[in-house]
Structure 1
Amino acid sequence: EDDSLRVTVVDDGTTTDDLSVDGATAGFDAWLSAGPWPAIVADNRAAAGLRTDPLGETSRVLGRSPVTLVGPTDRVEALEQHCGGTISWSCVGDVSGQPWSTLGGAPAWGAFRTGLTPVDTGGGLVALDQAVANRSGTTEWSTTELDDVSDWLSQLVGAATFSNDPLDVMLTRPGSFSLTAPLERRSGPAFGRADTGNRFRLLYPEPMVTADVTLSAATGESVDALLDRLGGDRLARTLTEAGWRLPGQPSPFTVNGSPELPKGSGLTTPGALQALRTTVQEMRP
């Protein structure tokens, strides 16, 4: 342990909002974020005409994790058949809120519900970026495409249940959700347990997108010096233990092939992601 380090855990979206207003200052030396949050801060401030920046440099990518879909085996098999053999986000949105009895499933399963993490977390925002990209047919979707798919997105979000760890809820209470969308850093270790793979299925939906971990320095701080202070080996070990893939290294997981990651995150622009955050927050029941 290093007594000189003090860690505060805050949702990335909360930090983003705090840093996006006039007069904002970073109440930290370094911000370890999962997802495109520093870029969203910069874009929000530029859009508001704010000249000073509470953040300095952002590091290289330190860890990565793709979005996965996880569901009880019987429900995944029924959904695959209903969706024509491949489960896509587009199909998930179309069936959201519908009775399973109309989708080829058992009436006892109730209505189709997805368990999602909030859009103020890296995993939640990245998953819904992937959903919009799949529905709109482009990873470079803009607010125009977001408007075009708004009815579909409203159906997906309106029937979903948002919680901090829907995967854990589903694994302990299998009837809670029809499907969840955790990052691989959560689903990979879960499927390392012998019983999980017998009862649940893990899928890698398209187009593949990733939440990427970076370290951003407060203005006046050196990101390289901060990384040295944290210790490269210690940080890599911490990220690996938390399920993140280290750049350039193979996946530690073997479930469903654990496909190679794309070179970039595959996410759309910061401005469009901020619009997605706002839209989903307004749609949530």
Structure 2
Amino acid sequence: MSAFVLHLVGAFSDIDRQDVVDAVGQGAVYALMAVGIGLVFGVLRLVNFAYGQLIMAGAYALAFASDRGWSVTVGILFCFGVVLALTLAMDRLVFRPLRTQSPAVMLVATFAVAFLLQNAALLIDVRDGTIGEPAASISSLNQAITVWGVDVRKIVLVAIAVAAFSLAALALLLAKTTIGLQMRAAAADFPTARLLGVRANRVIGFAVLLSGLLAATVAVILTVETPFVDPTFGLKPTIVVLVGVVVGGIDRLWTATLGGFVIGFASDIIYAALPTDQTVFLDSVLFALVIVVLLVRPAGLFARGRSSLVERV
């Protein structure tokens, strides 16, 4: 084991600029996922484990559009429509009726929704006798271009740009708009916010809608990177991001986002450092580092002082 660790440390010296750029792109995608998860947690105190299945549904929509020969633009719009419809249906049919129940009940409900969507996708997928659908029409976005002597995939640049724009727009929305201030108030103290006139359904619905928009965006990016969709599509990234959110500090949106970025960046850098025949150890190395971080900083890597549930956004 010590020899493996020494070999891993030595391998980091071989990482080049292209590996770093790819890792930043991966971190940007995971940061977007962390924001989507953090928005719902902020107003509902709920970790939505069905988030990965929303991404999967969007990926299947892209594969369906590709199979029908639709243009890339129409396919992306269809993806957004499917994900947003499922997100709003989840809020209206599951989150809203169970809002007064305990967090454990709502958590179990998200697991049920996740498995429902995954098995629905499986039943639809196996109609042709195979599992998995290609989404070839958007694969052109994964071509590489040369930037300052580094071959960078177009989708990596798109992911970084979209993440930067989305985070900046979200920061402005939370700080400068009425609905954003209401979301912050609801995240800080929901009962008091309602007594002061904040409309619960409106605030929660808006947060869930933003979460769905981010899920659809991630679905497009991940499908471009891996244009083959199956019922487990998006599941592993969601699990990794959930871990990153906890590592960063789930109590605040910005710490959760940083946690998502860091774990995405770290996973790509470690993967690049590992020899091809040892990439199977990626998850072991990554989660071992997570355990170390949580032992040292149980409140989160970016949390200030003790963990607090007062300010989450």
TM-score interval for Structure 1 and Structure 2 normalised by the shorter chain: under 0.3
Structure number with the higher helix fraction is 2
Report the structure, 1 or 2, having the larger strand content.
Answer: 1
Q: Could you state the TM-score of these two structures normalised by the residue count of structure 2?
A: 0.21
When the two structures are superposed, what TM-score results if normalisation uses the length of structure 1? 0.22
